[in-house]
Amino acid sequence: MNRPLTAFALAVALVAPAVARKPVPAKAKPAAAAPKTYFPPEPPPAPPQLHGIQYLYGSAEAAALTRQTWRMLADYVDEQMATGTHRGVVLTPDSTLTNPHFVPCGDKPPAIVLDVDETSILNLGAEYDDLMANRRVFDDEAWDRWEKNGAAYVAPTPGAKEALDRLRDHGVTVIFNSNRGAVNAAGAEAALNAAGLGPAKHGETLFLSGDDDKGSFKDGRRRTIAAKYCVLAMAGDQLVDFSDLFTTEPNGVAARRATVAYSGIADLWGAGWFVMPNPVYGSGLQGGPDDIFPKDKQWRDPGPPKPAAPEPQPAITPKKAK
Amino acid sequence: MNRPLTAFALAVALVAPAVARKPVPAKAKPAAAAPKTYFPPEPPPAPPQLHGIQYLYGSAEAAALTRQTWRMLADYVDEQMATGTHRGVVLTPDSTLTNPHFVPCGDKPPAIVLDVDETSILNLGAEYDDLMANRRVFDDEAWDRWEKNGAAYVAPTPGAKEALDRLRDHGVTVIFNSNRGAVNAAGAEAALNAAGLGPAKHGETLFLSGDDDKGSFKDGRRRTIAAKYCVLAMAGDQLVDFSDLFTTEPNGVAARRATVAYSGIADLWGAGWFVMPNPVYGSGLQGGPDDIFPKDKQWRDPGPPKPAAPEPQPAITPKKAK
């Protein structure tokens, strides 16, 4: 099954740029006096367009980062309950990103609200199929078949099951809010249950696109949930998993990055709002070099210094004849 | 400056696969009854090999995720100091990943130990140069010139300055442990200071490759630091930013991902060890489809159901003549 990739890698090698990497031990030569340790061989060169997939679905670093985020979410929620703080994190309709207000908790039971795809579960089967099918665009019909039939081919994100089991033991209701279609609710329930993250029951602990007339906007569903529960934390891989207000902000690399640092919400990241990594798809993947790299950071390597020009030799003048 | 990318994108489009993406509001059509909101246009198709770079250096999601991690690291350290727990997180020489022990803190002053590249600072200039130079392999000489001269072209990772300022205010010493070369110490100090993360002084609060005879191994430097300080937290984007023991484990996608879940260390992620996202380079970027996707998760879309074959017509048998 590697042949397609190999052929493909060869083709790509002609045009694909590598990306700068600082030296890491995987490529370092241990000094003679270094302790005897196994050094992994240099990873085989891979087509750089695999990097996002290699990182999210294959790297130990992403697994540790995801585990870390679930652990911190669970610790945060446990502490909120221990101290009786109970701060809701769903924005009220009159909120702005610079002046957010939260739906009050009152004596509503505690809950957390989680996005599904690439937040609670990894869509391994769909990504494998997409890669091997060498698709160039998102295929809505293939994704619809995935929503219906993919349950056996997903996995929980690392650390998700431990965190959800722990919070459920502590009396927290786990609610999923996804843009999968309500028409495929059975498939979504099956995927979450197969990943060991259930129970997920449509209309009770699972909310989907089509549950209201707001399409992919999630605020309406968030408020439906917040009317019944004290939402202590939310998790997602996209900004719109936290508030639809992000869609009203200017698009573009610099503008989007500035938005998450607004004084009103900068302190919510890691304290009620928890982001999961996703370099594979989504609204964040946009822009070319001039969008991504600020003008004043566009360094160009001058290359090695030029060798100094040789000293000019004085011309030899013939002696005058006496 | 977009022409190179455009030409390049065109060339790549012939071979580059897209990756599956769940519907997100950026591409959703709001229902008629939806509140009037600005919907960003579909981002222009970008060469998928830019995805890692777009995510890490350009996405609001990575900015929020990084800010979240710095905030949680600072909260964790503050709580350790408030409760007087003071648990060191540097492994002792007799540790294994399944049976870790930590250098005791005694009454040593509190510190945190941070990797530099793509943990504390973003190497925007070097990544821009590499992308525009369309390099296919890591260029050691260009990177050496970057270590010497790049200070003005870096930025702090989002949230780093706020977290370090806060912890320094609380009496925590911030120490950097990087595999940049000791011969380029002045450049490393300049980069950290230019990013607003200093003071960084080589041999005191900055440790580099070449400070000892262990090459890129960081354990020796970690123990030098832990002999003088109570290291309450470490941050990095690579496993080896936490322990060299990771280099003694089997390499490969499944093995590396299993390692970070070892019972001995699974609970350190987000509780002493803090991982920063990096889908652009490093040991995690390895493997092809069969390495990344477990055999039992390799779903293939069967495509739309085939139309049913028409009912076979009974053959007409001529009437017998009377």
User: CA of A101, closest CA in chain B: separation in Å?
Assistant: 19
Q: Which of B49, B248, B290 sits opposite A49 (nearest CB)?
A: B49
Residue A7 has pLDDT above 90, yes or no: no
Quick one: tokens of B307?
A: 């139309």
**What are A269's strand-pairing partners?**
A273
Model pLDDT, residue B27: 31
Model pLDDT, residue A50: 87
B121 at A interface, C-beta within 8 A: no
Tens of pLDDT along A218-266? 999 999 999 999 999 999 999 999 999 999 988 899 999 999 999 889 9
What percent of chain B shows pLDDT beyond 70?
A: 81
**What are A206's strand-pairing partners?**
A176, A202
Model pLDDT, residue A30: 32
Model pLDDT, residue A194: 98
Model pLDDT, residue B134: 83
Distance CA B301, CA A128 (A): 10
Tens of pLDDT along B42-60? 444 455 568 999 999 999 9
Verify whether the Cβ–Cβ distance A259 to B60 is below 8 Å: yes
Q: Higher model confidence: residue B309 or residue A85? A: A85
Residue A205 has pLDDT above 70, yes or no: yes
CB contact set of B134 (below 8 Å; sequence gap of 6+) = A17, B4, B8
Distance CA A212, CA A70 (A): 29
Q: Which of B5, B215, B288 sits opposite A5 (nearest CB)?
A: B288
Q: Higher model confidence: residue A128 or residue A39? A: A128
B183 at A interface, C-beta within 8 A: no
Residue A184 has pLDDT above 60, yes or no: yes
Q: What is the mean pLDDT of residues B229-255?
A: 96
Residue with tokens 């912890």: B167
Q: What is the mean pLDDT of residues B138-149?
A: 96
Handedness of CA B284, B239, B272, A259 (dihedral sign): negative
Model pLDDT, residue A46: 52
CB contact set of A280 (below 8 Å; sequence gap of 6+) = A52, A53, A56, A57, A118, A127, B19, B20, B21, B51
User: CA of A154, closest CA in chain B: separation in Å?
Assistant: 7
What percent of chain A shows pLDDT beyond 70?
A: 81
Residue B322 has pLDDT above 50, yes or no: no
Verify whether the Cβ–Cβ distance A269 to B35 is below 8 Å: no
Identify the closest residue of chain A to B152 by CA–CA distance: A297
Model pLDDT, residue B320: 56
The pLDDT mean for chain B works out to: 86
**Residue B316: pLDDT band with limits 50, 70, 90:** low
CA atoms within 13 A on the CB side of B268: 28
Residue pair B185/B202 in contact (Cβ under 8 Å)? The answer is yes
ipTM comes to: 0.85
Verify whether the Cβ–Cβ distance B257 to A304 is below 8 Å: no
